Structure 1
Amino acid sequence: MHLTHLEVSDFRSYPGAEVDLEPGVSVLLGRNGQGKTNLVEAAGYVATLSSHRVAQDAPLVRFGAQGSAIVRASVVRDGRESLVELEIVPGRANKARLNRSPVARQRDVLGTLRTVLFAPEDLALVKGDPGERRRLLDDLLVARQPRWSAVRADYDKTVRQRGALLKQAGHLWRAPTRRSGGPRLSPGETLEEARAGALTTLAVYDDQLAQIGGALLYARLRLLRDLRPYLAQAYRTLSDSETSAEATYRSSLEEGTPVSAAIAAGEVPSQEDLTAAILASIEQVRGQEQERGVCLVGPHRDDVLLTLGELPAKGYASHGESWSLALSLRLAGFHLLRHDLGTDPVLVLDDVFAELDSGRRERLAGLVADCEQVLVTAAVPEDVPEQLLGPGGRVFDVSLGSVTARVPEAVDQAAAQP
């Protein structure tokens, strides 16, 4: 799988730009702030329908543009070319076309392009909040099988609706205060009747959260089981050490049960057992949920514990070790998708080499040398290993929103620079 053409209009800093790409290594060179990352962000958006830099779409539309941004990508897989066109409209539903035909849902284009993108923000995979690690798993799930995008959306919707109900009905269980007084009831309704009605409605959402959450949790556990050997190998190679890198799932399920013990041991219980365990855990924390007005159990409360040797990476790993571990997580995802799909996703390395010492640079270059397509961004040629800038590599100069391909002679000169 590889990109042959990427075009943006009113995307980030670009009024308009086009790049013709080929298999192999393509390097985007330019000083900071010139728009290199914006281009690879556009490619990642086509693959995931989200940005790795911001949670909302509004910053993706160029300041001063008339309302929307356009991204077009031509993708070749197994000799067949597909065209994905996205119109990003903040505050409204985005529009998508596949091979020039509108699709019913934007997510119908998922799977046309698959990317694995490593960027400086990925240090948060090791040092950041659990949400960063949950997103890593869920994005890999969707890259593996696009149908998980709908499951994620359904689960998030259920959590929001259930949380809103818990907040709305919270006054039914909280003790009255001088300021709030007693609970607000409908005319003729008793407190017992109001509580019973709220519990009946809540039970419906309990079941939905457990059913969808059980499916999502089952998929995450299988994914992590398959990812572990690739993670261990990538870290050993990249760090050139025998230190083991491990990833263990930490669920929000009630502790001390056979299901939670199996998860902690790296096993994958059945989906039915996971669904039942979520329901049982909800019952255990029901009083806390009613008091606090939030959903306390489910995949949205889970985490992944990353360890190096015997110690957790967060709080103990050095800066270099954290970088290597975060990069190894992305490389593990790349190799898992390569195995599952029978083709390489597009690998994107955004400003990675500047953060690595010379040994890790060379080892990383060796790890990605056989990838079908690699997109690299860098501020100066010296940041990119010579074997990636050498024969077969393409270099683009990025400056103030313009992208210019270097002639082969200039590429050879850049690779020959000390």
Structure 2
Amino acid sequence: MHVAHLSLHDFRSYPDLDVELGPGASAFIGRNGQGKTNLVEAVDYLSRLSSHRVASDAPLVRAGAEQAVVRAAVVREGRTATLEVEINPGRSNRARVNRAPLPKARELLGLVRTVVFSPEDLTLVKGDPSERRRFLDDLLVLRTPRLAGVRSDYDRVLKQRNSLLKTAGLARGSARESALSTLVVWDAHLARTGAELLAARLHLVEELRPYLGKAYETVARGATRDDAEIGYAASLDLGGAVARDELTELLLEELQRRQPDELDRGVSLVGPHRDELRLTLGAADARLPVKGYASHGESWSFALALRLASYDLLRADGDDPILVLDDVFAELDTERRRQLADLVSGAEQVLVTAAVAADVPQALAGSRFSVADGTVTRDG
């Protein structure tokens, strides 16, 4: 899979831009603030319908414009399709394939796959649990696009249930009884959608585990594949359950048990939104959490290993995702630059950004583009 042509209209700093790309490595070189990351961010947006840099769509639209358009010709197994998304902050985005409108923008998910390495990846290990949950869910959707609907349904149910908990917690008499009766319905919705999301996450963590160990051994000096470990910490005792029906029952039971606490606090205390992806390092009998214990170098290696493991898992599915290396080589010493470049050089397409051309290893010497003052020029 690779992007053969990228067109942007009012996306970030670009009023209009057209860039011809191809298989292999393409490096965008330019000083910070010139717009090189905006290019790879646009490609990634087509994959996930969200940015790896910001939480909302508003910053993606050029100042003064009302909407942005990202369009790409994507080649997959010898066939080319034109994918397009119209970004409308505050309103529904719209998507097209070969100029035919899709009923929902999220139907674009899965048609192009990207794995992004960026300095922001440190938040995977040093940030809040929400960052790690997002990592899991983004990977889930890349592999199984219909789970985007499940995640959206869960978020909607959670919002409604939290609102009802606040109302019920303050109500008295018949109003409280009515709210509690309605809460039973929302408990069932939360348990059903939450169990499907939870079951998918548990399965993903098990599949990802061996790839993570192998990746960490490769990027961390002196490490073995047993040093890095991931586990899933749910907001309730699962007792080994992994099947969706079992998880639904467990969630319902825990919701009922925690109801008094939830009514007091006005928030849902049980469900996938409270779960954590546990990251640890060290020997099996002396593992420590990466967050709070790992050095900067170990944390960075763990973050890289998570991305490499994602890439390897997607390839094992039979697809070759587009790799984006966004300003990561500046964070690595010469040896680890070479190791990472050697690992990914066999990908069908690698998109690299760097402030200095010398930071890009020889293994990724391919097409070079200069990015300056809002223009992108192919070198040579």
TM-score (normalised: structure 2): 0.97
Distance 1:241 1:83 in 2: 45
Partner of 2:254: 281
Partner of 1:300: 273
- Give CA-to-partner distance per residue, 1:381-413, whole Å, 9 cap, x none: 121112212xxx111111121111111xxxxxx
2:363 matches 1:380: no
Amino acid corresponding to residue 194 of structure 1 in structure 2: A
Deviation at 1:284, TM superposition (A): 1.8
Preserved CA contact (<8 Å) 2:11 2:68: yes
Partner of 1:239: 220
How large is the RMSD of aligned CA atoms in angstroms? 1.0
Amino acid corresponding to residue 284 of structure 1 in structure 2: R
Deviation at 1:196, TM superposition (A): 2.3
Partner of 1:84: 83
Query: For the pair shown, which has the larger CA radius of gyration, 1 or 2?
Result: 1
Partner of 2:295: 318
Partner of 2:374: 401
Partner of 1:52: 52
Partner of 1:123: 122
Deviation at 1:240, TM superposition (A): 3.2
- Give CA-to-partner distance per residue, 1:254-286, whole Å, 9 cap, x none: x4xxx24x2xxxxx6211111111111112211
Distance 1:100 1:194 in 2: 52
Counterparts of 1:8-27 in structure 2 under 5 Å? 8-27=8-27
Counterparts of 1:92-111 in structure 2 under 5 Å? 92-111=91-110
Preserved CA contact (<8 Å) 1:166 1:289: yes
Amino acid corresponding to residue 167 of structure 2 in structure 1: Q
Secondary structure of the corresponding residue to residue 10 of structure 1? strand
Partner of 2:329: 353
Partner of 1:188: none
Deviation at 1:2, TM superposition (A): 0.7
Secondary structure of the corresponding residue to residue 81 of structure 2? strand
Secondary structure of the corresponding residue to residue 333 of structure 1? helix
Distance 2:52 2:358 in 1: 26
Preserved CA contact (<8 Å) 1:2 1:372: yes
- Give CA-to-partner distance per residue, 1:153-179, whole Å, 9 cap, x none: 00000000000111122112xxxxxxx
Counterparts of 1:193-204 in structure 2 under 5 Å? 193-204=174-185
Deviation at 1:144, TM superposition (A): 0.2
Structure 1, unaligned stretches of length 5 or more?
173-182, 184-190, 263-267, 408-418
Amino acid corresponding to residue 176 of structure 2 in structure 1: R
Secondary structure of the corresponding residue to residue 56 of structure 1? coil
Structure 2, unaligned stretches of length 5 or more?
none
Distance 2:307 2:363 in 1: 21
Amino acid corresponding to residue 304 of structure 1 in structure 2: L
How many percent identity over aligned positions?
A: 58
For these two proteins, the number of residue pairs brought into alignment is 374
Secondary structure of the corresponding residue to residue 197 of structure 1? helix
Amino acid corresponding to residue 52 of structure 1 in structure 2: H
Secondary structure of the corresponding residue to residue 327 of structure 1? helix
Partner of 1:187: none
Distance 2:335 2:289 in 1: 24
Preserved CA contact (<8 Å) 2:168 2:180: no
Deviation at 1:53, TM superposition (A): 1.1
Partner of 2:315: 338
Deviation at 1:238, TM superposition (A): 0.9
- Give CA-to-partner distance per residue, 1:267-313, whole Å, 9 cap, x none: x6211111111111112211010011000000010001101111110
The equivalent position to 1:224 in structure 2, one of 181, 188, 205, is 205
Distance 2:49 2:20 in 1: 22
2:229 matches 1:252: no
Deviation at 1:239, TM superposition (A): 1.0
- Give CA-to-partner distance per residue, 1:229-270, whole Å, 9 cap, x none: 0011001011132341111101001x4xxx24x2xxxxx621
Distance 1:120 1:19 in 2: 25
Preserved CA contact (<8 Å) 2:211 2:312: yes
Deviation at 1:135, TM superposition (A): 0.4
Amino acid corresponding to residue 24 of structure 1 in structure 2: G
Distance 1:325 1:223 in 2: 18
Counterparts of 1:64-75 in structure 2 under 5 Å? 64-65=64-65, 67-75=66-74
- Give CA-to-partner distance per residue, 1:339-362, whole Å, 9 cap, x none: 11x120001010001001111111
Distance 1:138 1:388 in 2: 30
Preserved CA contact (<8 Å) 1:320 1:356: no
Preserved CA contact (<8 Å) 2:167 2:179: no
- Give CA-to-partner distance per residue, 1:75-102, whole Å, 9 cap, x none: 1111111111111111111111111111
Amino acid corresponding to residue 5 of structure 2 in structure 1: H
Deviation at 1:17, TM superposition (A): 1.2
